[in-house]
């Protein structure tokens, strides 16, 4: 087996590994540690240039309550929820159906439609910036949670359809054929036979799409502005004051904003990894 | 069936229009005062106004700073409030020229504001008319470490030679005379403003920022040569291009730098970082050319009536209320800034008092700030030029030629 597992290496090498590992970990986590440390500093510490030293005072409770009472972080978080949850539900609903259609039915242009879904994934989304902004403006959806969610649903459906179609393809065709022989209607086959079997794929995709959308910064800044519609990733910047950049509050806000996807990742870690590898090997 | 459906839609549409547009007695105000202190100040102001005018209800929409700069262009044309806050001087010029702000000279006349707000009258006037009411400003000047000055036996410099001598003493003691962070350019604009105001005076400075004078003019070169003297003498912090203004506070807190050419908003973070009022002082930027009357820099915040507003009558009442001595005293106490009404009382803070004393005796004129006096594009390229000059003073000619080219293009 390559690489040789560490427990089968020599004792000296094992010791080296064990001492090097914590160092490497701290080095990798240094930026995160800095953010966490900054989030409990006082504003005075930051002005005095004390970025890495021991904080002169610990303002854990003060900073974290400040961001909710003195800044619109709460409404930014709520906007993120209002964008992310409908996107996850909408994308999964659409891609389950389109995946089912593309995997089960043989019709003219099946491959063409499928390739279009796949090709959509290869379009760099930055080039869509101006047309999509104009489109949402003309539809009256600019600067609204609905507009942002609709765009995410449309864009994520491509990838999810590819994923779902391949997953359904790997299910035994005999299940569907047997049901058809029994005279079960097509939509009942989808609902009662295929959908329950797709649960692992749905779970995996839900976790994946949730983190994608929650962490999206680009479209949040392009399609929304202001506390009434902007998600937290884009809203963090406005925690700064007119003159003074309140890095301690921005850091605290970043940590709060990062909690939901991190929590989801740890709770559903199994599905997340499955989502990345599902369909990768036959 | 279809017709009833249509009427339902029509009445629904009508009711939403009614709901969004202001009806009589409702006053819609849009502001970007979302920081804690400005927010509290406006809350108080609106509550007081409503108490004084029980028949008027105020609807207040709060925007964040960055978003407001783009939002204001949208809402002034599309969905105008009755009042909106903005800034004096050239910053309001585009909206005045586009006919988006209402002429409020009558408010000034009727309430005697030409006397009580005299110090800001100039910056509110375009084409001989007043376009808004100013409610707060703050001074610029030199903030310095009093204890470091005393330790090195330096008196507060009042003229150019004393200023340079003070710098030489500080450099000899291993202290950087002036801290500055030019990463976001505008700090360099502040230094240029003061050097130019002191070298050539207010009239010339305004003519320059209005595009009426060539950047290659000898008088601009004089200003830059004065600046070069400071640069050559090692006045400014090393590597200033990689610091924001805020990061450049750190050397001053640590005692590695002694002065900062800055606005009064620098005081709050310096105090937070542990400097006491015994350690921290303020002085007026020293005289360079004794023949030039002293002009100062004091950016002014203002409130305007959009031309498309629906309730202009009540909006005028609000402006008159905002201009009163009591309202300005109260709002600026919360803001920690200076009232413009000359009958207002100034907060009991030594920096506010110093600023008030300085600005109320200013006869040379009050500039807004380089990026408020000059149009946005000129300001950006100008300040990039200043930053470059601070790093490579030898490129002066090339920089001024570039600015002159920009002037010809921007003002036309």
- pLDDT bracket for residue B22 (50, 70, 90): very low
**Considering only CB atoms, which chain A residues are within 8 Å of B268?**
244
* pLDDT given at position A278: 65
> How many angstroms separate the Cα of B267 from the Cα of each of A47, A274, B189, B339?
11, 55, 19, 18
Q: How far apart are CA A118 and CA A92, in angstroms?
A: 16
**Partner residue opposite A49 with nearest CB, options B64, B70, B250:** B250
At residue B340, φ and ψ (nearest 5 deg) are -95, -30
CA atoms within 13 A on the CB side of B394: 0
Closest CA to B263 of B208, B194, B160, B204: B194
Find the mean pLDDT for residues A130-158: 91
**Considering only CB atoms, which chain B residues are within 8 Å of A244?**
246, 265, 268-269
B269 touches A at CB < 8 Å: yes
- Chain center to CA of A1: 34
Regarding beta strands B140-145 and B257-263, do their DSSP bridges make them parallel or antiparallel, or are they unpaired?
A: antiparallel
Q: CA torsion sign, B86 to B88 to B89 to B95? A: positive
Do A275 and A88 touch, CB atoms closer than 8 A? no
Q: How far apart are CA B136 and CA B303, in angstroms?
A: 10
Looking at the structure, tell me whether residues B157 and B276 fall in a common domain: yes
> Domain residue spans in chain A?
1-35, 78-225
> How many angstroms separate the Cα of B5 from the Cα of each of A76, A176, B12, B15, B47?
37, 45, 11, 15, 43
Looking at the structure, tell me whether residues B329 and B285 fall in a common domain: no
Answer whether residue B164 is part of any domain. yes
B299-315 pLDDT tens trace: 999 999 999 999 999 99
Q: How far is B30 from chain A (nearest CA, A)?
A: 13
A134 by Cβ neighbours in 10 Å (0-12 / 13-18 / 19+) ranks as exposed
Closest CA to A100 of A36, A45, A163: A163
Q: How far apart are CA B39 and CA B389, in angstroms?
A: 39
**Partner residue opposite B269 with nearest CB, options A47, A70, A227:** A47
Q: How far apart are CA A180 and CA B281, in angstroms?
A: 88
Most A CBs within 10 A among B16, B37, B64, B187, hence the mutation to make, goes to: B64
The H or E element that residue B408 is part of is helix B396-411
CB-CB under 8 Å, A243 with B272: no
CB-CB under 8 Å, A227 with B64: yes
- pLDDT bracket for residue A6 (50, 70, 90): confident
Q: How far apart are CA A42 and CA A31, in angstroms?
A: 19
The H or E element that residue A265 is part of is helix A247-267
Answer whether residue B380 is part of any domain. yes
Do B162 and B242 touch, CB atoms closer than 8 A? no
Q: How far apart are CA B8 and CA B16, in angstroms?
A: 12
Do B390 and B230 touch, CB atoms closer than 8 A? no
Answer whether residue B224 is part of any domain. yes
Looking at the structure, tell me whether residues B276 and B157 fall in a common domain: yes
DSSP 3-state percent helix, strand, coil across chain B (nearest 5): 55, 15, 30
* pLDDT given at position B209: 92
Looking at the structure, tell me whether residues B64 and B177 fall in a common domain: no
Per-position b or e across B34-68, b if 16+ CB within 10 A of its CB? bbeebbebbeebbeebeeebeebebebebbbbebb
* pLDDT given at position B5: 46
Do A275 and A200 touch, CB atoms closer than 8 A? no
Answer whether residue B201 is part of any domain. yes
Domain residues for the domain of B132 are 2-137+299-360
Nearest CA in chain B to A224: B67
Looking at the structure, tell me whether residues B266 and B398 fall in a common domain: yes
* pLDDT given at position B252: 95
CA atoms within 13 A on the CB side of A241: 19
DSSP 3-state of B302: strand
Looking at the structure, tell me whether residues B187 and B323 fall in a common domain: no
Answer whether residue B77 is part of any domain. yes
Regarding beta strands B300-304 and B83-87, do their DSSP bridges make them parallel or antiparallel, or are they unpaired?
A: antiparallel
Looking at the structure, tell me whether residues B96 and B218 fall in a common domain: no
B196-205 pLDDT tens trace: 999 999 999 9
Structure tokens at A36: 């966490």
**Partner residue opposite A225 with nearest CB, options B38, B70, B272:** B70
Residue A27's CB is within 10 A of a number of other CB atoms, namely 9
Looking at the structure, tell me whether residues B211 and B318 fall in a common domain: no
Percent of chain B surpassing pLDDT 70: 94
B102 by Cβ neighbours in 10 Å (0-12 / 13-18 / 19+) ranks as buried
- pLDDT bracket for residue A279 (50, 70, 90): low
Q: How far apart are CA B377 and CA B410, in angstroms?
A: 7
Cis peptide before A129 (omega within 30 of 0): no
**Does residue A79 have a pLDDT over 90?**
yes
Most B CBs within 10 A among A235, A241, A249, hence the mutation to make, goes to: A241
**Does residue B20 have a pLDDT over 60?**
no
CATH architecture for the domain at A78-225? Orthogonal Bundle (1.10)
Whether the predicted interface score ipTM is above 0.90:
no
The H or E element that residue A163 is part of is helix A145-169
Quickly list DSSP for B222-273: HHHHHHHHHHHTT-BPTTGGG--TTTTHHHHHHTSEEEEEEEGGGHHHHHHT
Answer whether residue B369 is part of any domain. no
B45-79 pLDDT tens trace: 999 999 999 999 998 888 877 678 878 888 888 77
> How many angstroms separate the Cα of A53 from the Cα of each of A6, A41, A165, B278?
36, 10, 53, 26
Find the mean pLDDT for residues B116-135: 89
User: What is the overall mean pLDDT for chain B?
Assistant: 89
Do B261 and B193 touch, CB atoms closer than 8 A? no
Answer whether residue B387 is part of any domain. yes
**Does residue B4 have a pLDDT over 80?**
no
Answer whether residue B367 is part of any domain. no
**Residues of A contacting chain B (CB within 8 angstroms):** 42-49, 70, 72, 225-227, 237-238, 241-245
Q: How far apart are CA B103 and CA A281, in angstroms?
A: 72
Q: How far is A205 from chain B (nearest CA, A)?
A: 34
Q: How far apart are CA B57 and CA B25, in angstroms?
A: 6
Closest CA to B103 of B121, B85, B127: B127
- pLDDT bracket for residue B13 (50, 70, 90): very low
**Considering only CB atoms, which chain B residues are within 8 Å of A225?**
67, 70-71
Looking at the structure, tell me whether residues B18 and B153 fall in a common domain: no
B315-374 pLDDT tens trace: 999 999 999 999 999 999 988 899 988 888 888 899 999 998 898 788 788 889 998 888
Q: Look at the block and give the residue holding tokens 């089960």.
A: A104
Q: How far apart are CA A234 and CA B314, in angstroms?
A: 36
**Considering only CB atoms, which chain A residues are within 8 Å of B66?**
237-238
Most A CBs within 10 A among B35, B39, B249, hence the mutation to make, goes to: B35
**Does residue B237 have a pLDDT over 80?**
yes
Looking at the structure, tell me whether residues B310 and B255 fall in a common domain: no
Q: How far apart are CA B250 and CA A52, in angstroms?
A: 13
B84-124 pLDDT tens trace: 999 988 788 889 999 999 999 999 999 999 888 888 888 88
Please give the tally of structural domains in chain B.
Answer: 2
* pLDDT given at position B177: 96
The H or E element that residue B122 is part of is helix B118-124
B232 touches A at CB < 8 Å: no
Q: How far is A61 from chain B (nearest CA, A)?
A: 18
At residue B139, φ and ψ (nearest 5 deg) are -85, 155
A146-169 pLDDT tens trace: 999 999 999 999 999 998 999 999
Do A153 and A94 touch, CB atoms closer than 8 A? yes
Most A CBs within 10 A among B145, B237, B242, B269, hence the mutation to make, goes to: B269
CATH number assigned to the domain comprising residue B400: 3.40.190.10
User: What is the overall mean pLDDT for chain A?
Assistant: 88
Find the mean pLDDT for residues A69-74: 85
Residues 6+ apart with CB under 8 A from A178: none
DSSP secondary-structure letter at A122? T
Closest CA to B101 of B74, B140, B132, B58: B132
B79 touches A at CB < 8 Å: no
Residues 6+ apart with CB under 8 A from A56: A41, A42, A44, A45, A50
- pLDDT bracket for residue B9 (50, 70, 90): very low
Per-position b or e across B268-300, b if 16+ CB within 10 A of its CB? bbbbbbebeeebbbbbbbbbbeeebebbbbbbb
């Amino acid at each position: 087996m390559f690489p040789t597992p560490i427990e089968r290496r020599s004792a000296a090498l094992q010791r080296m590994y064990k001492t090097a590992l914590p160092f490497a970990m701290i080095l990798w986590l240094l930026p995160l540690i800095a953010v966490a440390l900054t989030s409990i500093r006082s504003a005075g510490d930051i002005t005095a240039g004390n970025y890495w030293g021991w904080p002169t005072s610990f303002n854990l409770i003060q900073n974290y309550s400040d961001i909710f009472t003195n800044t619109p972080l709460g409404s930014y978080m709520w906007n993120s929820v209002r964008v992310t949850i409908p996107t996850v539900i909408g994308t999964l609903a659409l891609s389950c159906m389109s995946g089912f259609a593309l995997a089960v039915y043989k019709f003219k242009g099946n491959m063409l439609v499928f390739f279009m879904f796949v090709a959509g994934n290869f379009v760099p989304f930055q080039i869509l910036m101006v047309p999509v902004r104009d489109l949402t403006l003309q539809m009256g959806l600019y600067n609204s949670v609905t507009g942002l969610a609709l765009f995410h649903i449309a864009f994520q459906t491509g990838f999810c359809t590819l994923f779902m179609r391949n997953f359904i393809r790997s299910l035994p065709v005999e299940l569907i054929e047997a049901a058809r022989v029994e005279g079960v209607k097509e939509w009942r086959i989808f609902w009662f036979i295929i959908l329950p079997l797709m649960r692992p794929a749905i779970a995996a995709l839900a976790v994946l799409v949730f983190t994608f959308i929650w962490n999206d910064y680009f479209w949040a800044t392009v399609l929304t502005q202001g506390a009434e519609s902007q998600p937290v990733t884009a809203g963090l910047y406005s925690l700064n004051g007119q003159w003074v950049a309140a890095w301690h509050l921005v850091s605290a806000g970043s940590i709060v904003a990062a909690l939901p996807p991190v929590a989801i990742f740890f709770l559903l870690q199994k599905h997340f990894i499955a989502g990345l590898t599902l369909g990768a090997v036959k | 069936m279809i017709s009833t459906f249509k009427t339902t839609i029509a009445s629904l549409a009508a009711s939403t229009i009614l709901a969004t547009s202001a009806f009589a007695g409702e006053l819609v105000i849009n502001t970007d005062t979302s920081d804690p202190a400005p927010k509290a100040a406006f809350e108080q102001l609106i509550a007081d106004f409503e108490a004084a005018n029980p028949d008027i209800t105020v609807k207040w929409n709060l925007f964040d700073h960055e978003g407001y700069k783009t939002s204001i262009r949208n809402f002034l044309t599309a969905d105008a409030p009755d009042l909106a806050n903005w800034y004096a001087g050239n910053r309001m010029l585009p909206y005045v020229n586009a006919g988006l702000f209402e002429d409020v000279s009558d408010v000034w006349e009727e309430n005697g504001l030409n006397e009580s707000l005299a110090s800001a009258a100039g910056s509110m006037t375009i084409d001989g008319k007043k376009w808004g009411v100013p409610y707060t400003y703050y001074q610029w000047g030199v903030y310095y470490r009093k204890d470091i000055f005393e330790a090195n036996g330096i008196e507060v410099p009042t003229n150019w030679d004393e200023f340079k001598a003070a710098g030489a003493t500080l450099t000899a003691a291993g202290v950087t005379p002036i801290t500055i962070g030019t990463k976001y350019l505008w700090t360099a604009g502040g230094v240029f403003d003061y050097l130019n105001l002191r070298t050539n005076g207010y009239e010339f400075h305004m003519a320059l920022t209005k595009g009426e004078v060539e950047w290659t003019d000898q008088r601009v070169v004089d200003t830059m040569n004065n600046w070069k003297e400071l640069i050559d003498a090692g006045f400014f912090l090393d590597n200033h291009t990689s610091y924001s203004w805020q990061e450049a506070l750190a050397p001053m807190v640590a005692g590695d730098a002694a002065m900062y050419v800055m606005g009064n908003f620098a005081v709050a973070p310096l105090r937070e970082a542990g400097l006491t009022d015994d350690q921290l002082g303020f002085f007026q930027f020293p005289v360079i050319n004794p023949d030039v009357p002293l002009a100062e820099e004091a950016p002014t915040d203002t409130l305007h009536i959009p031309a498309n507003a629906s309730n202009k009558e009540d909006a005028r009442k609000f402006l008159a209320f905002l201009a009163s001595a009591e309202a300005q005293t109260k709002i600026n106490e919360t803001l920690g800034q200076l009232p413009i009404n000359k009958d207002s009382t100034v907060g009991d803070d030594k920096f506010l008092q110093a600023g008030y004393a300085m600005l109320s005796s200013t006869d040379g004129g009050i500039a807004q700030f380089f990026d408020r006096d000059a149009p946005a594009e000129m300001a950006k390229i100008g300040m990039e030029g200043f930053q470059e000059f601070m790093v490579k003073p030898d490129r002066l000619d090339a920089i001024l030629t570039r600015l002159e080219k920009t002037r010809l293009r921007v003002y036309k």
